Structure 1
Amino acid sequence: MIKFSNVEKKYPNGLLALNDINLTIEKGEYVAVIGLSGAGKSTFIRCINRMHDITDGTLIVNDVEVAGLKGKEVRQFRRNIGMIFQSFNLVTRTTVLKNVLVSFVPDLPFWRKIFGLFTKEQKMQALSALDQVGILDKAYTRVDQLSGGQQQRVALARTLAQNPDIILADEPVASLDPVTAGQVMDDFKKINQEMNITVIMNIHHVDLALAYADRIIGIRKGEVVFDGKSSMVNQSVLDHIYGRAQSIEVRKEGAKMNHV
């Protein structure tokens, strides 16, 4: 469970990125966070794994008060939270399998880290994660030989190898073509449903958010202005989240993706 209580995030330059956030996300939910660029979407999800510190209020994740964590406690806390980025964050000149095995490095004894030695169990777990996202056959292929969609699946497999309770995704399909984006979104949905992993996704494409997520959180100027089921989102809701002119543009962009 993730619980925001009166959470505020203010940057040193005075920018109020999040203001008075109050909501609860239960285990196993699939949540899409939508809103204009700069609205606070990325800040919202990055506070959950302590990439950003909150400046007021309380944030509880799996019974842990996030703001109170220090040093090794933060690293241990993050082991249960996977993070997927738009840029994939892969080492492209090495194999897919080695990129997935990176998820185990924090738990290795020093001597294994030095020599890059992983246990048989870790290798099997990495291969299993690749199988779950449908690219087991690419295990020994160099990452730079893969398509963008395949690279995003490697990043997802690396996260799955951690055996996380929560997956945070920051614009995971923004750089992908429409067909590939749909395939990657299928992977997230499958993982959410079959493994009961909570998925919280910051996403620019509203139509994909509505098609895949069960719950939509709309953020505008650092405040939650909508929180409800995907089926409740209509043009009036989008106008409220984006402003009327912007919401029309967002819908047009979604229509182009669906046409492709």
Structure 2
Amino acid sequence: MIEFVNVNKTYANGTIALKDINLKIDQGEFVAVIGLSGAGKSTLIRCINRMHDISSGRLLVHNVDVAKLTGKQIRRFRRGIGMIFQSFNLVTRISVIQNVLVSFVPDLPMWRKLTGVFTREQKMKALEALDKVGILDKAYIRVDQLSGGQQQRVALARTLAQNPDILLADEPIASLDPVTSRMVMDDFKKINQEMNISVIMNIHHVEVALEYADRIIGIRKGEVVFDGAASQVTKEVLSEIYGGGFGEGQSASEERLVHV
């Protein structure tokens, strides 16, 4: 479903972000991408929906050569790929349901865009999406009255409302406390399993990645140094991904994995 073929990415300043990436990700997989900051994790994810252009190679999504898309083709292509950010990207001064309804704006005729009038069907879809992430009761509350975890769930509901096949998540729990993080991760897992939506997540929390993801991709200096089942990740694998002895620069909870 997603295929990287000899993909390279070099930024304008000469920084090499990705080197000779070859990956295949099938529909319905839950994939966690791990590695040090600056290793290329975010770049890898953002190339999938053309937030970043690749420098060479081929990137196929549903057999579509992503690099060849232009204009309206890119916008149409992105409708099938949800994106969740660490910063939530919500409008905090309006209600939860209004934030979810934003996902329908690109498909609205101009008069609806100008008036902000949505159809009954769109409102029902927005409410259904909120129900899927367990915050239907917050639909008419202003976003700035919600906790960080609830706001991340609003962002997730907004993405689900567009009915994506693929869900990309760039450090979705980085700013959340451990208890809230697990609640949000439970939502991702439920969506992955019940809706067969592919989840590709860039995450720093190694212990969480191993618990929730089926597959781990380890990136080091722009290269894939590990690609396999979460159950195959060992101390040696983590040392290869992070360089040197795993535990240097890692959190205490991640370091405990060395002794697992």
Measured against the shorter chain, the TM-score band is: over 0.9
CA distance in 1, matches of 2:113, 2:152: 25
Partner of 1:106: 106
Q: Which residue of 2 aligns with 1:48?
A: 48
1:170-185 alignment, distance < 5 Å: 170-185=170-185
Tell me: CA distance 1:95–1:255, structure 2 relative to 1, closer, same or farther (3 Å). Answer: farther
What SS does the corresponding residue of 2:82 show, helix, strand or coil? strand
Task: Give RMSD over aligned pairs.
Answer: 1.1
2:70 paired residue number = 70
Deviations 1:172-225 (A, max 9, x none): 000000000000000000000000000000000000000000000000000000
Structure 1: distance between partners of 2:30 and 2:245: 28
Is the contact made by 1:238 and 1:247 (CA closer than 8 Å) also made in structure 2?
A: no
- Inter-partner Cα distance in structure 2 for 1:96 and 1:245: 45
Matched, 1:117 2:117: yes
The separation in 2 between residues aligned to 1:177 and 1:153, in whole angstroms, is 14
CA contact (8 A) 1:42 1:170 kept: yes
Which residue number in structure 2 is paired with residue 161 of structure 1?
161
Q: TM-score under structure 2 normalisation?
A: 0.97
User: 1:252 aligns to what?
Assistant: 252
Give unpaired runs (5+ residues) of structure 2.
Answer: none
1:86 pairs with 2:117: no
Q: Deviations over 1:121-167 (max 9, x none)?
A: 00000000000000000000000000000000000000000000000
CA-to-partner distance for each residue in 1:63-99, whole Å, 9 max, x for gaps?
Answer: 1100000000000000000000000000000000000
Residue 243 (structure 1) shift: 1.4
Instruction: Give the unaligned 5+ runs of structure 1.
Output: none
User: Within 5 Å, which residues of 2 pair with 1:1-260?
Assistant: 1-250=1-250, 252-254=252-254
- TM-score, normalising length from structure 1? 0.97
- The structural deviation recorded for 1:246 is 4.8
